[in-house]
Amino acid sequence: MALLLITFTIGCGGDCLLLLPRSDDLSGYDHRWTYRVGADLGFIDRHRIGFAFHPVRFDSGPFSYEGESYELYYGFDLTRTFYSGPLRLFLILGGCHHPWRLKFQGEIMQLPTGKVDFKDWGYFGGIEFNYRPIRFLDLRLGGYYYYLLSEHFDRLGFDDHDEKYVALYSGLRIRL
């Protein structure tokens, strides 16, 4: 007789991120180190749903692209069907909201059409390697690809492109 136990876990933690710009609008901007904090709810030791936050900033001389990323994501453990050890590989998919500003020498840029202060929506995906040395601690290493949809042709013109960047990270998560 089989007994199915449905288990729930709550996790929270932080990561150190390396952000790498990858779009035409961000070409010429430097990479940047930042942090991310988040929490998630895991169930059946295979799925997890979570939210996270991290600041975004890229610099190029006197210009800077600054913003925040608010994320909602779903993670699926690809290894649990054939392996039950401490190493795991997660597929992560999610959506994000990105309020951002373009600054020149620390001040928000002003165009004839208004300030360069926008809110974009986007999506991201990636993989995460997860090592659980003890039951309540996860060590994480992974990468995400972000694609932000640009809809500001009225204020920036048709030369505006969708923003893209890659986030490589490592961090830890406490599981309760």
List the single range of 11-15, 107-111, 148-152 with lowest mean pLDDT: 148-152
Query: In a 10 Å sphere around its CB, with 0-12 CB exposed, 13-18 middle and 19+ buried, how is residue 90 labelled?
Result: buried
pLDDT score of 2 more than 60 = no
Q: Rg of the chain's alpha carbons, rounded to an integer? A: 19
Q: Phi-psi region for residue 45, left (φ > 0), alpha (ψ -120 to 50) or beta?
A: left
pLDDT score of 145 more than 80 = yes
pLDDT at 159: 56
- Residue range 91-125, pLDDT digits in tens: 999 999 988 888 888 888 777 666 777 788 899 99
Query: In a 10 Å sphere around its CB, with 0-12 CB exposed, 13-18 middle and 19+ buried, how is residue 56 labelled?
Result: buried
Q: 137 near 145, Cβ under 8 Å? A: no
Going by pLDDT thresholds of 50, 70 and 90, the confidence category of residue 168 is very high
Query: Residue 111 has which token pair?
Result: 């165009």
Q: Is 2 helix (H, G, I), strand (E, B) or coil?
A: coil
**Cross-strand partners of 57:** 66
- % of the chain at pLDDT higher than 70: 87
pLDDT at 109: 79
- Residue range 49-81, pLDDT digits in tens: 999 999 988 888 888 888 899 999 999 999 887
List the single range of 28-32, 62-66, 80-84, 169-173 with lowest mean pLDDT: 80-84
Going by pLDDT thresholds of 50, 70 and 90, the confidence category of residue 1 is very low
Q: How far is CA 25 from CA 97, 141, 158, in A?
A: 18, 28, 12
Q: Domain limits of the chain?
A: 8-175
Average pLDDT, the chain: 85
pLDDT at 133: 92
For 8-175, which CATH class?
mainly beta
pLDDT at 129: 95
Closest to 37 measured CA to CA, from 6, 17, 15, 21: 15
pLDDT at 154: 54
